[in-house]
A and B are shown apart, each in its own frame.
Chain A
Amino acid sequence: MSSILLRPDNLHGDTVLDEPNYLNWKSTVASWLLTKDHKRIAVMYFFSISFMFLIGGIAASGIRLALVRPHDTFFSSETYDKMFSAHGIIMVFFFLVPSIPATLGNFLVPLMIGAKDLAFPRLNLLSWYVYIVASAIMLGAVAFGGIDTGWTFYEPYSSIYSNSNVVAVTFAVFLAGFASIMTGMNFIVTIHKMRAPGLTWFRLPLFIWGMYATSLIMVLGTPVVAITLLLVTLQRMFGLCIFDPSCGGDPLLFEHLFWFYSHPAVYIMVLPSMAVVSEVIACFSRKRIFGYEFVAFSSMAIALLGFFVWGHHMFVTGESMYAGMVFSLLSFLIAVPSAIKVFNWSATLYKGNVWLSAPLIFAIGFILLFTIGGLTGLFLASLAVDVHLNMTYFVVAHFHYVMVGGAIFGFMAGMHFWWPKITGRLYPEGWAIVTAVVMFLGFNFTFFPQFILGFLGMPRRYHYYAPPYQFWNDMSSAGATIMAIGFMLPLFYWAWSLKYGEIAGPNPWGAKGLEWTVPSPPPSHNFDEIPLVTEEAYDYKAIHAAEIAGDYSHLQFDHPFAEAKHSDKPTNFEEH
């Protein structure tokens, strides 16, 4: 890769941000709404999904509040059902699925592979509009009556018995599915055809591998859930019957089709986080990621194997015993690529020069929580144990460890890591570290008790529960408060940093990768000329050697954490 662009004349003062970049080249509303620039679309996606996250989070607070006092309650059962349904649907389809791909992915994929834009910029913009329309319908449905089916829309409840806005919501999810299909198509074509000269598959950053694997799932899985939910919509609207047992339909078929997408969808959520974590760990340990090929192939293996295990959601539904055995075996096998990743990340730190910055703390939090989430997934993959634990709070705890501990911690790591690239300014490091710690503690307080609740047998989606579960539920709700505070903090310091943050410069972390060779924020056309790539992705050897020797000059001198700038004795560098 071409050498890191350092332009010392521009590093001081605000001048660097006055250069033409994707943010300031035009500032009219129309220039944003009609933009075909992948970076602007990424920013617009970031604000949209953050808003949806806020709504989903409010619903989650409602759930935890209701469960503090199960006897004389704050909410009726109907309201409670609508809250957990809104929480699930919004978080899964409107936050987690688009989260990293549509924001960081959109922003970084062309930058990382040395392209001027994604292959289909108009399709990219269309994807955002489809997402916005879908979100509007979803929010409308929640505001005017809500939905009470849970995010799984199980038949025949959703098409016959529910008295809520199922049609609107299934249609919204159908649309959101198309938004994610468009993103996936765009990434696949872009990664296949638009890599810079010299950027072979095995020189790609692991982020790109993760995005490619994610896009495969989006393209291959989403249409199935789209048609399935469309069938639910049609059943409710026109009285057709497809899954209705009273006319011979099979509700289990709905579950098959739903999970055919929705299990791989879990990997849509977690693979991008793994992709982010690979970047963050390599950068902050100043090392090539340990076993690059294994990590890359494990992403692909997860994406492909992820399609073979959907039946493990149905072990107790009356699925064939043989199907159960096969799905269980495959579910155990899919743990292997995840294990490979976790071990490789940990091993990357070995003999590195570890800079314990906020993104790395988030990434380490990710590894720990994902390890717990993954291993507890094996409880649910093993047949006899699953018979007891399925549909209990154990499942709830498990998938929150994967989706919050995994997906959201990865998202936070990535947002912090690339925040200087996106905005041109640094976030306040101290606050970010505090946030990481608060979120980690709050998260464990919230969800670890739920493992115990599940083992004790408390079924999920329960508004009322028996007295033995009181203590653990209270603890969980208390933890949720801490976690909510953790989620609120970035809102403030990110906003603060937009105005007062330190100017970042092109490469504040001394990271490798094409995206760090362009100015921050990048210009609209990304690269003045398409780079010729001559090295592999994580060629940190030189930086590693220099830092061991005490030379931190590759870090920019106005970097607030690169204290070397004030110090004449860089060998005695200490983490502040």
Chain B
Amino acid sequence: MTDHSHDDDLKHADHAMPKPIIYTATWIMLLGLLFVNYLQSQYLDLGAFNIVIALVICLIQASAVVLIMMGVNFHSTLVKFWALVGFVWLMLLFTTLGDYITRHWIHLPQGW
């Protein structure tokens, strides 16, 4: 293997990065959503929608972290692709629930 410890190997990357205010705003938004989630869970009973609300808030929070804090929005298509793959495959795993849900469906009549 060749030795690469020459000075000309120290290189500069091209990089554009968001201004810090973007990060700060994201942080405040995340905390805000967290408290919305908390307050809703403590004081507002929406029955079956509780879990929907909680999950929607989580998804918004997670997207904010992924897109802004992890910088996916500012990266190449390939990085975006892999971030998406993670989500899509998780959904695929969750199709397992389909087995459990359809187990109680009424069976087909005889001679269908």
Contacts and interface: CB of A to CB of B under 8 A. Distances in A.
Whether A and B touch directly in their complex, counting CB atoms under 8 A apart, is answered as yes
Contacts of B100: 320
Contacts of B1: 36-37, 524-525
Main secondary structure of the interface of B (DSSP, over half): helix
A252 B99 CA distance: 10
Contact of A320 (B85, B89, B92, B102): B102
A320 B99 contact: yes
B89 A256 contact: no
Contacts of A323: 98-99, 102-103
Contacts of B93: 224, 260
A212 to B, nearest CB: 13
A200 to B, nearest CB: 15
A321 B99 CA distance: 8
A499 interface: no
Nearest to B1: A524
Interface in B65-112: 78, 85, 89, 92-93, 96, 98-103, 105, 107-108
Nearest to A321: B107
A220 B92 CA distance: 11
A322 B105 CA distance: 9
A94 interface: no
B93 to A, nearest CB: 6
Q: Looking at A193, A311, A322, which has the most chain B CB atoms within 10 Å of its CB?
A: A322
Q: Looking at B1, B2, B78, B96, which has the most chain A CB atoms within 10 Å of its CB?
A: B1
A465 B20 CA distance: 73
B96 A220 contact: no
27 contacts: A36-B1, A37-B1, A192-B78, A193-B78, A220-B89, A252-B99, A253-B96, A256-B99, A307-B89, A307-B92, A311-B99, A319-B103, A320-B98, A320-B99, A320-B100, A320-B101, A320-B102, A320-B103, A321-B107, A321-B108, A322-B98, A322-B102, A323-B99, A323-B102, A323-B103, A524-B1, A525-B2
Given A36-B1, A311-B99, A525-B2, 13 more contacts: A37-B1, A220-B85, A308-B92, A319-B99, A320-B100, A320-B101, A320-B102, A321-B107, A321-B108, A323-B98, A323-B102, A326-B98, A525-B1
Interface of A: 36-37, 192-193, 220, 224, 252-253, 256-257, 260, 307-308, 311, 319-323, 326, 524-525
